Amino acid sequence: MTSTLWMTTTEIANTLDVSRETVLRLIRIGAIEGGRKRDGSYRAKASSVYHYRATRQGGSK
């Protein structure tokens, strides 16, 4: 059984070289698979973030 790796909005912003606000928008519109935790913070699946990055950059990274 594999476990899902989750990333914080700061980690995602650094990975994608975008603002945290952009990360939140990407999560809200479903471009990146994630959501809001009970404490109000957001997390997203690392695999979804890397898939988004590869798609956005034409697979160059």
**Residue 31 domain flag:** yes
- What is the pTM for the complete model shown? 0.85
18 is a domain residue: yes
Contact 24, 34 (CB under 8 A): no
- Domain ranges, residue 17: 6-56
As for how many domains the chain has, the answer is 1
User: Residue 32 has which token pair?
Assistant: 């990146």
CA dihedral 9, 11, 13, 19 (to 10 degrees): 60
Residue 57: its pLDDT value, please? 76
pLDDT digits (tens, 9 = 90+) for 13-43: 999 999 999 999 999 999 999 999 999 999 9
Q: Which helix (H) or strand (E) holds 57?
A: none
Cβ burial of 10 (10 Å; 0-12, 13-18, 19+) is exposed
The predicted-structure confidence for 41-59, as pLDDT tens digits, reads as follows: 999 999 999 999 999 976 5
CA 21 to chain centre: 12
Residue 61 lies in a domain: no
Domain assignment present for residue 35? The answer is yes
In the prediction, which pLDDT does 61 show? 43
Read off the CATH number of the domain in which 45 is found: 1.10.1660.10
